[in-house]
Amino acid sequence: MLPAEVRVDDLMTAAADLFIAKGIEATTVNDIVELAGVGKGTFYHYFATKEDVILALRERFSRDFTKKVADALAQCPGDDHRARFATWLRGTVEAYIANYELHDVVFHEFRHSNRNSKEKEIVIAQLSALLGEGAKADAWSLPDVRAAAIAIYDGMHGVVDDAIATGNGDAGAICDRLSLLFGRILVA
């Protein structure tokens, strides 16, 4: 018998693959347990509904996303703030492009009216911390760190979305474009 975390993770991964392949509506709990190779009872031990799986996937997505960026930042000297921002940008753009199909599934119910989602707050907090540290060390000045973090994060999101939509989803080229743009914001 596999440990509980592994089975939950397998169920979530199976569900994500099916949601991407055939859509949330068309995916049944039967499909999920079959692909995950577990019994239906196991599914209902962890999740009440398909919606619960999506919420769990959303949390996992955000956690994986910020952890990937945090790991990359850990390799970066703490006092090289421009390198840290470049690392954030590269890590974020790459993670988004690599996982946008999953992103679209887990955030399929994203609503503008949900203006303070927990998941968004996590990524904004991470970027705000980075921008705030750079400002404190005079690597740049920012009259409003939070506004800058939100504008940069959402700006990045929109430009990457446009690149995906127009079939220009090359992370390197996107990062070059965004570096020029955001580098102008991060001035003394």
Question: Contact 81/188 with Cβ under 8 angstroms?
Answer: no
Rule CB under 8 A: choose which of 39, 151, 170, 172 binds a second copy: 151
Residues with Cβ < 8 Å from 87, sequence gap 6 or more?
A: 69, 72, 73, 75, 76
Rule CB under 8 A: choose which of 2, 161, 170, 172 binds a second copy: 161
Q: How far is the CB of 45 from a second copy (least distance, A)?
A: 31
Say whether residue 74 binds a second copy (CB under 8 A): no
Q: How many helices (H) and strands (E) does the chain have?
A: 9, 0
Say whether residue 167 binds a second copy (CB under 8 A): no
Q: Distance (Å, rounded) from C-alpha 83 to C-alpha 73? A: 9
What DSSP element (H or E) covers 128?
Answer: helix 118-136
Q: Distance (Å, rounded) from C-alpha 185 to C-alpha 152? A: 9
Site string for a second copy, 125-144 (x = CB under 8 A): ------------------xx
Q: How far is the CB of 182 from a second copy (least distance, A)?
A: 8
Question: In the window 100-119, what residues touch a second copy (CB under 8 A)?
Answer: 103-104, 107-108, 110-113, 115-116
Say whether residue 34 binds a second copy (CB under 8 A): no
